């Protein structure tokens, strides 16, 4: 009989952390994070990283494994995940993969286009371009390499545009060619069954939860965390520095002045944009078997996640 990989996903602030802990305690499981920012040491407040009290109760994998100065990409994640899953199953435990980073989540179900290793000089070139010219510069350079268009790539997403530009520069291929090439690869984890539960909340309930979370982050000194990380070299890591919550705080600190209420509003607004993209991604890209709708104030029951 094939072993099972269990997945608990959902948009930001839907309540994944508490339910994942409850399920793992009841089912002798361990948690593999599927959040593209929890890898980094020091990025605690702005990522809503589970507190030490929770990390101590259930063994977690994929959290605090990388310095903030080093980019940890989906290829690194896939290698780490394979080792973690093998280790967990060898010890007779169940695997619960938890998080809302859609591209990383997709790597368990189908090939992903970031399999290629990117040389350091190209990483530095793209990072420098973004620092000097922003998203506009990235898009302009990518369009030069893709005169026939960039397919369905979201050109408003700095991280996706930067990743695509890196791959095009490293391989000499277009976005469309790379997409075709990787769509023909075999699916990952063919020897495992997969059960996926996606948490779902109404838009206004999600917005309230996001606002409470952002307000708490700022109250817990998110700006101080970002100030410290800047000193550690955060801006040298494009993916981390451009993450929602961090990029707004960086802009705020660099401006030298500003209104904290405006900062809160900007982070909430950008988080809700992310939530909208996450919802679309889960519907179109992830084979969700169970959609668990949670009403306002409802935390959910771990026994209802996978039937």
CATH number, domain 116-183 = 1.10.20.140
Q: What is the pLDDT of residue 116?
A: 65
CB atoms within 10 A of CB 159: 17
The domains of the chain are located at: 4-110+187-304, 116-183
Q: What is the pLDDT of residue 160?
A: 87
Average pLDDT over residues 174-190: 86
Q: What is the pLDDT of residue 113?
A: 60
Average pLDDT over residues 59-64: 96
The three-state DSSP-derived secondary structure of the chain is CCCEEEEEEECCCCCHHHHHHHHHHHCCEEEEECCCCCCECCCCCCCCCCCHHHHHHCCEECCCCECCCCCCCHHHHHHHHHHHHHHHHHCCCEEEEECCCHHHHHCCCCCCHHHCCCCHHHHHHHHHHHHHHHHHHHHHHHHHHCCCCCCCCCCCCHHHHHHHHHHHHHHCCCHHHHHHHHHCCCCCCCCCEEEEEEEECCHHHHHHHHHHHHHHHHHCCHHHHHHHHHHHCHHHCHHHHCCCCHHHHHHHHHHCCCCHHHHHHHHHHHHHHHHHHHHHHHHHHCCCCEEEECCCCCCCCHHHCCC
Residue 197 pairs in a beta bridge with 8, 290
Place of tokens 């039937």: 307
What lies within 8 Å, CB to CB, of 204 at 6+ separation is none
| Confidence (pTM) | 0.81
More confident residue, 63 or 118: 63
CB atoms within 10 A of CB 130: 22
For residues 77 and 62, the answer to whether their CB atoms sit within 8 Å is yes
Average pLDDT over residues 292-296: 95
Topology (CATH) of 4-110+187-304: Rossmann fold (3.40.50)
Q: Give CA separation, 253 vs 45, 71, 189, 225, in Å.
A: 16, 23, 44, 11
More confident residue, 134 or 159: 134
Place of tokens 């990072």: 127
Q: Indicate whether 296 pLDDT > 70.
A: yes
Looking at every residue in the chain, the average pLDDT score rounds to 93
4-110+187-304 matches 116-183 in fold: no
C-alpha span between 16 and 200 (Å, rounded): 10
pLDDT in tens, 215-270: 999 999 999 999 999 999 999 998 899 999 999 999 999 988 778 999 999 999 99
Q: Indicate whether 114 pLDDT > 60.
A: no
């Amino acid at each position: 009989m094939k072993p099972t990989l269990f997945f608990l996903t959902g948009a930001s602030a839907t309540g994944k952390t508490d339910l994942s802990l409850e399920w793992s305690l009841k089912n002798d499981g361990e948690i593999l994070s599927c959040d593209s920012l929890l890898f980094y040491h020091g990025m605690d407040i702005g990522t809503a990283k589970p507190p030490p009290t929770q990390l101590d109760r259930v063994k977690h994998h994929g959290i605090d494994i990388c310095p903030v100065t080093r980019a940890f990409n989906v290829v690194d994640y896939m290698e780490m995940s394979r080792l973690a899953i093998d280790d967990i199953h060898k010890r007779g435990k169940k695997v619960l993969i938890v998080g809302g980073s859609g591209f990383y989540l997709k790597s368990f179900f189908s090939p992903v286009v970031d399999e290629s290793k990117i040389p350091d000089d190209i990483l530095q070139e793209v990072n420098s371009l973004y620092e000097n010219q922003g998203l506009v510069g990235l898009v302009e350079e990518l369009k030069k390499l893709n005169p026939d268009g960039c397919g369905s790539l979201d050109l408003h997403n700095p991280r996706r545009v930067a990743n695509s530009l890196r791959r095009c520069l490293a391989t000499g291929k277009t976005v469309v060619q790379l997409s075709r090439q990787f769509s023909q690869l075999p699916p990952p984890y063919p020897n495992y069954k997969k059960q996926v539960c996606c948490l779902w909340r109404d838009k206004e309930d999600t917005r309230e939860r996001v606002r409470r979370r952002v307000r708490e982050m700022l109250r817990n000194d998110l700006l101080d965390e970002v100030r410290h990380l800047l000193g550690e070299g955060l801006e040298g890591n494009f993916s981390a520095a451009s993450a929602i919550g961090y990029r707004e705080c960086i802009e705020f600190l660099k401006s030298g002045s500003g209104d904290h209420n405006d900062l809160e509003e900007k982070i909430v607004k950008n988080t809700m944009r992310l939530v909208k993209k996450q919802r679309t991604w889960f519907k179109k890209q992830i084979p969700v078997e169970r959609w668990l709708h949670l009403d306002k104030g409802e935390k959910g029951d771990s026994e209802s996640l996978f039937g």
